[in-house]
Structure 1
Amino acid sequence: MVTTTTIPIQNDSYPKSKVNKTTTPTCEAPATRFIYQQSEFEYSVHSPGSRFGRELGTVFPTLSTKQLKEILVIPVIQRCEYDMVGITQQVNHERDDKLEIFVSWGKAVVERLKSIGMWADIMDPASGFPIYTEAGPTPYPDVQGTQTLTRYDIQNVGCCHILLHPTWKSKIYPSTMFTTAPADILVKVINEFV
């Protein structure tokens, strides 16, 4: 039996909101860890705020204004064995494995949310474009988006930004899910797969 663990994020005392009315992001569900396919995950659920939400319109151009106001952003981080800053055969192999595991988990959660009438999608971390929804002109930057929502530090390495998890540092694989499902329903659905 696998249990989930709620992990306090750097500021989990955000006010709760039902709809994206504020200009700043709010945390709807604090960082929670679970195991899926022998990979340790951590996710948190955020209402992105009106400005961030409007910017998502270029990522998801087919969403209605109402959907963009209701959208939740779910940064999903997998713990890695290797430091993802490196470029070695082991790092590349682990990066590929983490991508496959995220897509497998994400597709299961998205399909379940869709089966109960909710919109949801996951980003392909390799391209920054949605897997299910028609892509807009703008890719979604997982690292910058996660940093904005969680306030985790980033490290500049050449032209890349590397997200630094408070515990796992740069031994992580970041990715993102989006949905218009209420946070409590989303958490229940995620718990079905852990």
Structure 2
Amino acid sequence: MVDAKTVQSVDDRKQAICLASPNTFVFEDSTFEYSVFKPSKRFLRDFDTIFPSLTSKQRKELLVIPVIQKCQYDMVGLTAEVNHERDIKLELFVKWGRAIVQRILSIGMWADIMDPASGFPIFSEAGPSPYPDVQGTQMLSNRFYVQNIGCCHILFHPTWHSHIYPSTFFTNAPVDILLKVIAEVNAKLS
């Protein structure tokens, strides 16, 4: 049995806990990588302005899943090819994410994905604050680093560097159920 002192120390932790190490799969010819984190209390501090409809219990159960897609082009660029690839990666993330969200909702749990272009949730009521995918991913995992390039923050993957398209998935489903749903949906979609 877990005692109150242990629970308190977990609640006060300042670091996210990785519940599922990076896992890679291919969806519609795009390489995706995701990992699952239980965010720290500090990380969740302002989530009521991102997801205002979540209850405090749902926020305490929240899992954050950074989803990275490998890109052909360096996403630092501003060419027509880069912009076209960004659009494709956004569409793929939304298509994949919608299938995961629908499945999790069908079993009575909450889930949503962020629109990486705006930082606002796609399926839930949006609050006044956007979620910063780049900074959020860096705060969760020390595998990534961020570089300021002009007015933009660019996330760098340890292998793919800046040839990535970052996005984020959120749920209050337990990690074992989330992983089963991802495997089930990926098998159906492939």
Q: TM-score, normalised by structure 1?
A: 0.88
Using the aligned pairs only, state the percent identity: 63
Query: In the TM superposition, what is the alpha-carbon distance from 1:24 to its structure 2 partner?
Result: 2.1
Instruction: Report the counterpart of residue 187 of structure 1 in structure 2.
Output: 179
Query: In the TM superposition, what is the alpha-carbon distance from 1:56 to its structure 2 partner?
Result: 1.5
Instruction: Report the counterpart of residue 15 of structure 2 in structure 1.
Output: 24
* 2-structure distance, mates of 1:176, 1:40: 15
**Which residue identity lines up with residue 67 of structure 1 in the other structure?**
Q
Query: In the TM superposition, what is the alpha-carbon distance from 1:51 to its structure 2 partner?
Result: 1.3
* 1-structure distance, mates of 2:167, 2:159: 17
**Counterpart of 1:125 in 2: which secondary structure?**
coil
Is structure 2 residue 82 aligned with structure 1 residue 91? yes
* 1:119 and 1:180 in contact (8 A); partners too: yes
Deviations along 1:143-194, one digit per CA (max 9) or x if unpaired, are: 0000111121111110101000000000000000000000111011011122
* 1-structure distance, mates of 2:185, 2:123: 20
Query: In the TM superposition, what is the alpha-carbon distance from 1:54 to its structure 2 partner?
Result: 2.3
**Counterpart of 1:129 in 2: which secondary structure?**
coil
Q: How does 1:110-189 map to 2 (within 5 A)?
A: 110-151=101-142, 152-189=144-181
* 2:113 and 2:123 in contact (8 A); partners too: yes
Structure 2 unmatched ranges of 5 or more = 1-6
The structure with more radius of gyration: 2
Task: Choose which of 55, 62, 70 in structure 2 pairs with 1:64.
Answer: 55
**Which residue identity lines up with residue 62 of structure 1 in the other structure?**
S
Is structure 2 residue 37 aligned with structure 1 residue 46? yes
Q: TM-score, normalised by structure 2?
A: 0.90
* 2-structure distance, mates of 1:157, 1:137: 26
> Structure 1 residue runs of 4+, over 6 Å off?
none
* 1-structure distance, mates of 2:115, 2:64: 14
Work out the number of aligned pairs and report it: 176
**Which residue identity lines up with residue 32 of structure 2 in the other structure?**
F
Structure 1 unmatched ranges of 5 or more = 1-16
**Which residue identity lines up with residue 39 of structure 1 in the other structure?**
S
* 2-structure distance, mates of 1:192, 1:91: 32
Instruction: Report the counterpart of residue 55 of structure 1 in structure 2.
Output: 46
**Counterpart of 2:42 in 1: which secondary structure?**
helix
Of 49-58 and 156-165, the range deviating more from structure 2: 49-58
